[in-house]
Structure 1
C-alpha cells in the first residue's frame, strides 16, 4: 500500500476523515489495520462514518427495476375472464337461500306453463350460465373446423391440406357408454343428496322431539332450574343452526346464533373448532345439572344420539366426494367427444356442425353440471328455513305448554265446585 494511500486515511479532525468514499474499501481497511494497530481504537465516529460511506459505495445492490408487463400473464387473465365470471355466478347461486315448498308453490310447480317459464328464465339460470365457457369453447372449435374444411374445398388453402372428416362409427359405438356414464354419475350424486336430506330430516325431528321431552319434563320449582331449563332449550334450538353453518361454506354463525344464545355462551361456541359438538356438550352438561329423575335423564341422554349421527353423516358427505377418478373420466370423455364431434359430423352436416355442437355441448354438459352441483347436497336444501322452523316450533311449544298448563290449573279449581248426579249429568 503506498504512503499516499495510507496518508489519505489519517484523521484530519475528530469525527471526520479526509478520504473520499471511493477510496475506502474492505481490503484497504485490513491493510490499514495491519499497518496502524491503533487505528481500530479510534472513536466510534470513524467506524460509523465508514459504515455510512460504505452504504453509498459501489458495492451496494442496484435499485429494483420496475416490474415489466408479462404478455403470458395478460393472455391468461383474458382467457380466464369468462370462466371466472361464470364461477362467481355459480358460487353466488350456491349461497342463495332455498325455501320450503307451500301448497301455492306446488300448484306453480306442476302448472302446464312451467315449460314456458323455465325457458324464459334460462338467461338467469346459474346452471346454464356456468356452462358458458365450455359451450363457447367447443362451438368455436366447430366454427374453426367448418371454416377450415370450407377453405380447403374452395381452394383458398393449398391443395395438399386434408379435409378434417372421419367415420361416425366410433361415435355410434361409444354413445351408449357416454350415456351410461352420465346417468350413473348423476344417480350417484342424487343418492348423496338423498342421504343428506334424510340426515337433516332426522336432525329436525330429533330436535323437536328432544325439546318436547324437555318442555314436558317436571323439574323443581326453583328459579335456578327454570333458568337452566330455558337455557337448555336455547342450546337445543341453536344446534341445527350450528350444524347448518358447519356444512355450508361462507355461513356467518355468529350472526345466526346472536338471537338464540347469550353472549357468554356464544363466545364459547365461536372459540371451538367443531361448533355443533360444542353445543352437544352444553346440552349434556345442562342435563346433568338439571333436577330430573334418573330415568328421565337417561332417556334424554339416549335421544341425543340423533345429534351425533347427524354430525357424522354431514361430515362424511362433506369430506368424501364421489371417487375423483369417476368425475375425471366423465369430464375427459365429454371433452374429447365434443372436440372431435365437428370432424365426425362434417360429411353429413357441413356448417350445421356449429349449432349441432352447441346443442350437444349445452345438453350433455348441463347433465354433468347438475350431477356436480347436487354432489354437495347441503346448499341445495332449504336449511335456513328448516332451522327457523325448528326455532318457531320450540318457541310455540313453550308458549302452548304455559297456556295449556294455566288453562288446566284453572279448570282444576273449577271442577270440585261442580255437583254431579248419579247418572253422570251435572245438576242444574
Structure 2
C-alpha cells in the first residue's frame, strides 16, 4: 500500500510541480507550498495555487486595461491634433456673390449644426470635454454613494458655496473676451498686411509696364513682372508651414532663377533683390527709377509685418492664465453645483466645458492668421491680373494712340463728346 504522505510529497517535488505550475509563480511561492505535505494541505495548496494564479492573471489583466485606457487617453489628443493640422493645410477660397448668399441664408444654422462633427474646432474639444465630464460623473457617483450610506460615515459629501463662482464668473468672461479679441486683432492685422502686399504688387506692376517702354526693355520687363508675380507666392510659402515653394514657383520663374531662389535663406528678399537689380538695368529716367525703387518699400513692410505676427504670439502668460483658469473652473464646477443640480451637474459641466473651451479654441486658431486667409487664391489673383494687363497692353496702347490722332466729331457714336461741348456753365 502506498503511503499517502509519501505520495503527496512525491507529487509536490520540485521536478513534478515545476512542469504543472503556471509561469506566473515565483520560487518563493514554490517553497511555501512544500511546508504542507499532508493530503489536506495538498487540497488547500491546489486551491491556493489556483487563487494565486488567478489573482496574478487578474492583476495583469487590470494592468493591461489601465495601460490601454491611458494609451487611449494619450492617443486621443494626438488624433485630434492631426485632424486639426490637416484642416489648417486646407486651402481657403475667396468669397463670391454665391458664397455670400449661402453665408447669410436663413438655413445656415441647420447647415452648421449638421456639419458639427466635421468641425476641427469641435473635434479639438474632445479631450477637455471628456475629461471634465468624467470628473463630474466621478463626483456625482461619490456624493450619491455617501448620501445613500454606501460608504463609511467619515466620508464627506463634496459640496461648496457658489459664491466664489459668482464673483469670478465676470473675470473669466472678460478674460475669454480679451483673449479672443486680441487674437482677432492679429488676424485683422495679417489680413491688412496682405491687402497692402496685393495692392502694392498690382501698383508696382502697373508702374513697370508704364515706365519700361523702350524696345530693348521688353524682355527685361517681362522678367521683372515674373518676379513681381513670384513675390507674394514666396511670401506665402515663407509664412505657412510645409509649403512647397518649388512646386508653386516652377511655372512662374525660369529654372536658373528658381535655383537661386531655392538656395537663398530668405526667399522673398531674394526675389526683391532680383527686382531691384533688374530695375537698374532698365533704360529709364533716374527719376522714374527712383519712383520704382521706392515702391519696393511696400514689399519690405509686408515681410516685416508677417514675420512679426508669425514670430511674436500673444504673451504666453496670458494664454496660460486663460487655460489654467478654465481647467480649475471646470474641475471644481461639479462640487459647486452639486447641492442645486445633483446629477444634472454632468450635462451642465459638459455644456459649460464645450462652450467656454470652444471660445478659447477659436482664439487660439485665429492667433496665427495666415492659415486662415485665402493666400493661394490671392496669389493666383495677382498673377491673373498682371497677365491680363500684359496681354491687353498692346491693344490698349493702340487704342490710346488712335484716339490721339483722331478728332472727336460732334456726332460721336455715344454722344458723350457732343454732350460735353453743349453743356453751359452754371
Q: TM-score over 0.5 for the alignment?
A: yes
- Identify the residue that residue 273 of structure 2 maps to in structure 1: 281
Aligned CA distance change for structure 1 residues 352 and 253 (closer, same or farther; 3 Å): same
Cα offset for 1:104? Answer: 1.1
1:234 and 2:190 are equivalent in the alignment = no
* Mapping for residues 237-276 of structure 1, pairs under 5 Å: 237-276=229-268
- Identify the residue that residue 3 of structure 1 maps to in structure 2: none
1:156 and 2:123 are equivalent in the alignment = no
Deviations for 1:270-327, whole angstroms, at most 9, x for unmatched residues?
A: 1111110000000000001111111111000001110000000000000100000000
Cα offset for 1:180? Answer: 0.4
- Identify the residue that residue 165 of structure 2 maps to in structure 1: 171
- Identify the residue that residue 364 of structure 1 maps to in structure 2: 356
Q: TM-score, normalised by structure 1?
A: 0.78
Which blocks of at least 5 consecutive residues in structure 2 are unaligned? 1-62, 412-416, 419-426
Cα offset for 1:115? Answer: 1.0
Cα offset for 1:220? Answer: 2.2
Contact 1:145 1:342 in 2 (8 A): yes
Cα offset for 1:347? Answer: 0.6
1:405 and 2:422 are equivalent in the alignment = no
- Identify the residue that residue 385 of structure 2 maps to in structure 1: 393
Aligned CA distance change for structure 1 residues 411 and 180 (closer, same or farther; 3 Å): closer
SS at match of 1:142: helix
1:98 and 2:118 are equivalent in the alignment = no
**RMSD after superposition:** 2.2
Cα offset for 1:114? Answer: 1.1
- Identify the residue that residue 376 of structure 2 maps to in structure 1: 384
- Identify the residue that residue 198 of structure 1 maps to in structure 2: 192
- Identify the residue that residue 134 of structure 1 maps to in structure 2: 128
Cα offset for 1:77? Answer: 3.7
Cα offset for 1:384? Answer: 0.6
Contact 1:219 1:290 in 2 (8 A): no
- Identify the residue that residue 186 of structure 1 maps to in structure 2: 180
Q: TM-score, normalised by structure 2?
A: 0.79
Cα offset for 1:79? Answer: 2.2
- Identify the residue that residue 32 of structure 2 maps to in structure 1: none
Alignment match of 2:211 (pick from 212, 217, 222): 217
- Identify the residue that residue 326 of structure 2 maps to in structure 1: 334
In structure 2, what is the Cα distance between the partners aligned to 1:316 and 1:374?
15
- Identify the residue that residue 9 of structure 2 maps to in structure 1: none
Aligned CA distance change for structure 1 residues 419 and 78 (closer, same or farther; 3 Å): closer
In structure 1, what is the Cα distance between the partners aligned to 2:74 and 2:213?
63
1:87 and 2:118 are equivalent in the alignment = no
Count matched residues. 350
Which blocks of at least 5 consecutive residues in structure 1 are unaligned? 1-69
Deviations for 1:127-158, whole angstroms, at most 9, x for unmatched residues?
A: 00011100011000001111111111112222
In structure 2, what is the Cα distance between the partners aligned to 1:392 and 1:384?
12
Cα offset for 1:74? Answer: 7.0
In structure 1, what is the Cα distance between the partners aligned to 2:67 and 2:246?
39
